[in-house]
């Protein structure tokens, strides 16, 4: 008779303990999500997986022209690299012909076209097989300030969640 009573007490106490410990709601690791334009996609990063965060400025040489670049890059434990960058496009020093000038002035006046063109201009282009298709996630943004804001936000979140 003592064995069934002991089992009932043991079961009752274990069910009380189970009821007190509720399972965690959502992920138990801190995530960081950058403020990206919707047409660029979405990205979430576990702050526990970050190895390094860097902000750099350099010049990209292409077809005898130099383009200043501001880039925030993140290396993760799994080997994934995330790049957020802004490429400053310099105006040509050559004078524009009247037709080009007219087209550009119409683009700035007519609503709707500029947003779609800006969206296409900001898309990252990867040329197969010359570009790496794996291991790197890239986002091209529309201003240097957005890159520096992303760097500061990510660095602050990373430091705040450090063990």
**Residue-wise DSSP of 65-120:** EEEEEEEEEEEETTS-EEEEEEEPPPPPSSPPPHHHHHHHHHHHHSTTHHHHHHHH
pLDDT tens per residue, range 7-51: 555 455 555 444 456 655 655 779 999 988 888 888 899 999 999
- pLDDT band of 106, cuts 50, 70, 90: very low
Domain-wise residue ranges, the chain: 26-160
Task: Answer yes or no: are the C-beta atoms of 81 and 73 closer than 8 Å.
Answer: yes
Tens digit of each residue's pLDDT (9 = 90 or more) over 62-77? 888 889 999 999 999 9
Count of Cβ atoms closer than 10 Å to residue 145 Cβ: 11
Kindly report, residue by residue over 112-160, the tens digit of the pLDDT: 444 555 555 666 666 666 666 677 889 999 999 999 999 999 999 999 9
Instruction: Name the residue with tokens 């010049």.
Output: 59
Q: Give Cβ neighbours of residue 133 (< 8 Å, ≥ 6 apart).
A: 126
The answer to whether the CB of 147 falls within 8 A of the CB of 89 is: no
DSSP state of 29: S
Contact 138, 72 (CB under 8 A): no
Q: Check residues 59 and 27 and name the one with the higher pLDDT.
A: 59
Contact between residue 69 and residue 86 where contact means Cβ atoms under 8 Å apart: yes
Evaluate whether 121 touches 113 at the Cβ level (below 8 Å). Answer: no
**What tokens does 162 get?**
């450090």
> Average of pLDDT values for 84-101?
70
pLDDT at residue 29, rounded to an integer = 79
């Amino acid at each position: 008779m003592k064995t069934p009573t002991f089992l009932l007490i043991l079961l009752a106490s274990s069910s009380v303990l189970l009821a007190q410990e509720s399972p965690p709601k959502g992920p138990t690791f801190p995530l960081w999500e950058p403020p990206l334009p919707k047409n660029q996609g979405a990205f979430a990063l576990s702050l526990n997986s970050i190895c390094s965060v860097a902000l750099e400025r350099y010049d990209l040489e292409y077809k005898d022209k130099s383009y200043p670049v501001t880039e925030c890059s993140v290396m993760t434990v799994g080997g994934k690299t995330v790049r957020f960058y802004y490429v400053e496009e310099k105006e040509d020093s050559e004078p524009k012909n009247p037709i080009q000038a007219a087209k550009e002035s119409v683009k700035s006046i007519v609503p709707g076209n500029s947003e779609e063109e800006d969206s296409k201009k900001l898309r990252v282009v990867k040329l197969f097989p010359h570009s790496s298709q794996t291991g790197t996630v890239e986002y091209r943004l529309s201003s240097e300030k957005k890159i520096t804001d992303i760097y500061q936000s990510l660095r602050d979140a990373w430091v705040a969640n450090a063990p």
